[in-house]
A and B are shown apart, each in its own frame.
Chain A
Amino acid sequence: KNEVEQSPQNLTAQEGEFITINCSYSVGISALHWLQQHPGGGIVSLFMLSSGKKKHGRLIATINIQEKHSSLHITASHPRDSAVYICAVRRSGNTPLVFGKGTRLSVIA
């Protein structure tokens, strides 16, 4: 079993829909990252969470440390949100990230 599990693996949505991507992990962590990878390959860090909730524009990320679960929400989705969204956790300090397999999101106009 992978240390970081994401669901769904693939997601297709209509423009304007509210989207949720889930991440569960099985180890103790110091931080959880949500990353976005566009088709060109570049990866951008959207959020780094250790507790609670963060919001940036139409993106919201939440984490429940007790349940070892995080969600990424996209409100009013747009075709430009189409990308692979990756959940990654860090166990402690400056240890390397452990990555989920990603969720491929396609938003159709």
Chain B
Amino acid sequence: SAVISQKPSRDICQRGTSLTIQCQVDSQVTMMFWYRQQPGQSLTLIATANQGSEATYESGFVIDKFPISRPNLTFSTLTVSNMSPEDSSIYLCSVTEDTQYFGPGTRLTVL
């Protein structure tokens, strides 16, 4: 099994600022997935992060807005840049091993 931690667990940010979310896995994984869950909605994939290569972004998400780092096989960061209230969501990282594992999420509120 995989244990995933995320930091911060929640934050309240001002419009126009940026927040970097960290995701740490207790085992080495090839792919890490970043999801967004807007209030009352299901999960939407932002991007897939592979170690040693550029992240692959889904339609509607761009690197300038959501830059991702993947420096090694156990760690990744997602930055939400130039935030607006529409970015208020829960952001989750996830990995696949024997099954799917999710981090506890980062609850972001943008004022």
Contacts and interface: CB of A to CB of B under 8 A. Distances in A.
Nearest to B9: A41
Contacts of A76: none
Interface in B37-79: 37, 41-45, 48
A58 to B, nearest CB: 19
Nearest to A95: B48
Contacts of A35: 100, 102
A57 B81 CA distance: 44
A86 B42 contact: yes
Contact of A88 (B37, B41, B98, B100): B100
Given A42-B104, A94-B31, A101-B41, 12 more contacts: A35-B100, A35-B102, A41-B37, A41-B104, A41-B105, A43-B102, A43-B105, A48-B100, A96-B33, A97-B33, A99-B43, A101-B42
Interface of A: 33, 35, 40-45, 48, 86, 88, 94, 96-97, 99-102
14 contacts: A33-B99, A40-B104, A41-B37, A41-B92, A41-B105, A42-B104, A48-B99, A86-B42, A94-B30, A94-B31, A96-B33, A97-B45, A99-B44, A102-B42
Interface of B: 30-31, 33, 37, 41-45, 48, 90, 92, 94, 96, 98-102, 104-105, 107
